[in-house]
Structure 1
Amino acid sequence: MGNIGPTELLVLVVLLAVPAVFVIGVIHRSARGSAAPPPRPRLDPAELNHQVTGLIAAGKTVQAVKLVREQTGLGLADAKRYTDDLAAGRPPHLAPFHPGAPGLAAAPQPAADLATRVRHLKAAGRAEQAVFLVRGETGMDEADARRFVDSLG
């Protein structure tokens, strides 16, 4: 490469400056035009669990996890575990919480006994999940777990 004269230098500067100005303009316009949506009002833990359970029942697990993340500040893995616990009829795993997560950093809820959780699942029309819960917590085979679930009112 030989010596660069003033004309070539000017062309080179223009070739580099034009795309840079274009990119800066696009970034500026997109930052100006896309204000962040207003934050959702914080839900108390019972209402959060109710809404998450409703989303799960509607087959909207991704939205349920997203709601848990927005409301608690949990990371993806912890929010998924929280959602999975609710889906299985277990009290949600409450730790770890980020500072400023309203209400949820309080002491964990006492765990309901197995029969109570099974009754709640049955009342929500989730008898199959109740059978899985019983099998997972007791080690029963499917037939025994199903009889246990069916025996509860």
Structure 2
Amino acid sequence: MPNLGPIELLILAVLLAVVLVIIVGAVMAVRKAGRAVSGGRAPLMPPTPQGLYETVTRLTRQGQKIQAIKELRQYTGLGLKEAKTVVDAVASGHDMWSHPAMARFRPAHPVVPPNAAATGAAGAPGDGGAAAGPDLATRVRGLKAAGRAEQAVYLVRGETGMGEREAELFVDTL
């Protein structure tokens, strides 16, 4: 074997580096394809109205509002602002289905938490499917009677689009 000069050694090193880059790239592509097929993680709940309700409620109660917003956006396609207002409403004790942004996703039958029968929460104002529940004024009166006037104002603003001052006047007049 003849002696290799510096140019031949440089060419050999470059060829070896190119082969190494190709191998590493192929391994990374295979790993990425595996994650894409599995979605990176298993979904928390199936995309049913009940599963969505439970997921958003659980994450919000655990203080994981950002994850709740992500899940809500993934399953509904809502914008960031809309999803945040829904999660904020859930965090303040409102039913997510009563929010105007959720109107097109509202299930035909009210969705209530699995433990609602045990806690007696199924008939509470603002809980468990406003689609079949009492009207806005009745729910506002219930919140006001329970000493939750601020939540009543938030409910009125969320369902009607009123400004804060108008919603406060509405709650005060009831």
| Counterpart in the other structure of 1:76 | 80
Out of 137, 142, 150, the residue aligned to residue 119 of structure 1 is: 142
Q: Which AA in structure 2 matches 1:41?
A: P
| Counterpart in the other structure of 1:10 | 12
| Counterpart in the other structure of 1:42 | 47
Query: CA offset at residue 15 of structure 1?
Result: 2.3
The 1:115–1:21 alpha-carbon spacing in structure 2 relative to 1, beyond 3 Å, is same
In structure 2, list runs of 5 or more residues that go unmatched. Answer: 1-5, 108-130, 158-163
Q: Which AA in structure 1 matches 2:100?
A: H
Query: CA offset at residue 122 of structure 1?
Result: 7.9
Q: Which AA in structure 1 matches 2:73?
A: R
Query: CA offset at residue 58 of structure 1?
Result: 4.2
Calculate the TM-score normalised by the size of structure 2: 0.47
CA distance in 2, matches of 1:26, 1:130: 50
| Counterpart in the other structure of 1:138 | 167
Asked if the contact 2:73–2:79 (Cα under 8 Å) also holds between the matched residues in 1, the reply is yes
Asked if the contact 1:64–1:83 (Cα under 8 Å) also holds between the matched residues in 2, the reply is yes
Calculate the TM-score normalised by the size of structure 1: 0.52
SS class of match (2:60): helix
Query: CA offset at residue 13 of structure 1?
Result: 2.2
Report Cα offsets for 1:20-73 as digits up to 9, x if no partner: 3223223324544773345542222x6644653454344332232133123213
SS class of match (2:88): helix
| Counterpart in the other structure of 1:25 | 27
* Percent identical residues: 22
In structure 1, list runs of 5 or more residues that go unmatched. Answer: 97-102
Q: CA RMSD in A?
A: 4.5
The 1:138–1:78 alpha-carbon spacing in structure 2 relative to 1, beyond 3 Å, is closer
Out of 42, 67, 72, the residue aligned to residue 71 of structure 2 is: 67
